Amino acid sequence: MPSLDEELKSRFESEQQKALLNVLFTANWFKGGHAPLLAAHDLSPQQYNILRILRGAQGRLCMHQVKERMLDRAPNATRLTDKLIQKKLVSRERCDRDRRVVYVSITSKGLALLEEVEREMRPVVAGQLAGITAEDARTLNRILDGLRG
């Protein structure tokens, strides 16, 4: 893969600016590799993220908790979840004590779809990560965690 300088045909003010743009460019590159696979299952990347969050919760979450855990904190998370409910991938339950609170959980159909998508996604992700060692990944994780404080 060409360097960021070659890819964008650009020069940068500093290595820090280049690093920032490289992170953003690479994130979009990863998303681009996943988007067609998700689209084939009628899922957006954000809907896929919601399904993964709900599976990881191993129970129900209120929508506020789902929004907090999203990678891309979309303001339309409720609308995205409504679409998943329509597809019967997620179920909704109102709180008895506070009708404003809505709990959501992944259905068995949602779990099955998620398993299928991830089975298809594994080779794509493996190909995308083929150029990085586990040690490099640890270093990158440490640096990125440090950036966020």
- The answer to whether residue 133 is domain-embedded is no
At residue 145, the pLDDT reads 92
Q: For the chain, what is the largest distance between any 2 Cα atoms, rounded to a whole number of angstroms?
A: 58
CATH of the domain at 64: 1.10.10.10
- The answer to whether residue 48 is domain-embedded is yes
CA 119 to each of CA 54, 56, 126: distance values in angstroms, whole numbers, following the listed order? 18, 17, 12
- The answer to whether residue 143 is domain-embedded is no
Interstrand relation of 61-62 and 102-106 (parallel, antiparallel or unpaired): antiparallel
- The answer to whether residue 9 is domain-embedded is no
- The answer to whether residue 6 is domain-embedded is no
Local confidence band at 107 (pLDDT 50, 70, 90 cut-offs): very high
Mean pLDDT of 74-86: 90
Tell me the per-residue pLDDT of 18-61, one tens digit each, with 9 for 90 and over.
Answer: 888 889 988 998 888 899 999 999 999 999 999 999 999 988 99
Domain encompassing residue 84: 15-128
Tell me the per-residue pLDDT of 108-125, one tens digit each, with 9 for 90 and over.
Answer: 999 999 999 999 999 999
Give the integer Cα–Cα distance in Å for 65 and 85: 17
At residue 97, the pLDDT reads 82
- The answer to whether residue 135 is domain-embedded is no
Give the integer Cα–Cα distance in Å for 60 and 1: 42
Give the integer Cα–Cα distance in Å for 134 and 59: 32
- The answer to whether residue 134 is domain-embedded is no
Whole-prediction pTM = 0.85
Local confidence band at 5 (pLDDT 50, 70, 90 cut-offs): low
Where are the alpha helices (H) located in 41-133, listed in sequence order?
A: 45-57, 63-69, 77-86, 108-128
CB atoms within 10 A of CB 113: 21
- The answer to whether residue 138 is domain-embedded is no
